[in-house]
Amino acid sequence: MNEKRVQSGRYFMMGNVACAEGAIAAGCEFAAGYPITPATEIANTLAERLPKVGGAFFQMEDEISSIAAVIGASWAGKKAMTATSGPGISLMLENIGFAIGVETPCVIVNVQRGAPSTGMPTIGIQGDMVQAKHGSHGDYQIIALCPSSPQEMFDHTVLAFNYAEKYRTPVFVLSDAFVGHMREEVTIPEADRIERVYRKIPAPGTDPLEIKGFLDEDVAPMPIFGQGFKAHVTSSCHDEVGKRNLIDISALDKFIRKLSNKILKHRDEITLVEKDYEGAEVVLVSYGAVARAARAAALRAREEGLPVGTLRLITPWPFPSEEIEKMARTAKQVIVLENNLGQMYPYIKAEAAPFSQVSFLPPRWVGEIHDPEHILTKIREVLR
């Protein structure tokens, strides 16, 4: 190693580069990916920096092999990640489901772009929000973070690794082309001020035939390969020791519920929102890049004497239902802002509508961040 893992200091930095630096600071040792706009700068930075700090970056032949390599590296005990955009996520989803089923810690960065299909690579949208939660088949829970700035690209990537390691699960960072390609000041703390979490592993001397390495709602120790532990890692329904059970329906029920409850039981430790709505009659609910426009619109509205506040979803998954209900009980009007045709809107409305009026405001053009004046027009309309 001939370079510091944490390059502390203040920088004028692109969001994608900040993401890569956050991964390295969090202890990432392995990354695999395939070039795709608008995420390629993450791979480029990791390819340059990881070998200098004792890690490795592999450019794979496609996104399917990329996520497979990440899962393999994680089971070899490495903190691992990939970065891509929506089309790449679509190709990865089968293996993402596998990673969820066998409880594999890893980080998946999605720098979202115009879609569906290959869409428009140069335009950022928030088009993959529901894909992150429901893209793979079956019932499961996922953790996802939505950064709104280059600084948060650094901070949230560190947090994503910590969540992945603590809860032994894949974690999404749902960025977009706006945040990924934005350049702003980024402060990287000193190494000893960055929290790093590492997965639990069985205690030395543990009988490898008696390790309960799966299906623990408080997260089982991970019997990683190469450290003397035997484990049967299967995507099929299995029990606490990884043994397949394809006959007993109660085993399937337990398999599904345990995997979900591992996240839901800890939702209060995971869920993050940013709220500024005390005394507000109208609350703007947003996430990611759109939250910047929501904040600007709320400030202008207050300058006009209008009672407007904001609620930003930092973790859209697991869905912050309690936080949204609490907000809705104090507001008369809730306006949901998204750079799409309303992917999170039905979830937000379901929690807020019993207590307040809920409406959705798309951008004038999908792929364009909301103009604060456009939002102000909607605020004045609902306050009439």
pLDDT digits (tens, 9 = 90+) for 230-282: 788 999 999 999 999 999 999 999 999 999 999 999 999 999 999 999 999 99
pLDDT of residue 198: 98
- Domains defined along the chain, listed by start: 9-193 (3.40.50.970), 273-383 (3.40.50.920)
d(CA 300, CA 170): 39
Q: Tens digits of per-residue pLDDT, 136-166?
A: 999 999 999 999 999 999 999 999 999 999 9
Q: What is the number of other CB atoms lying within 10 angstroms of the CB of residue 162? A: 20
Q: Tens digits of per-residue pLDDT, 365-382?
A: 999 999 999 999 999 999
d(CA 115, CA 97): 22
- Which residues, at least 6 apart from 84, have a Cβ–Cβ distance to it below 8 Å? 33, 34, 36, 39, 63, 66, 92, 108, 109, 110, 111
Helices (H) and strands (E) in the chain, counts: 13, 13
| pTM confidence score | 0.97
- The one-letter code for the residue type at 287 is Y
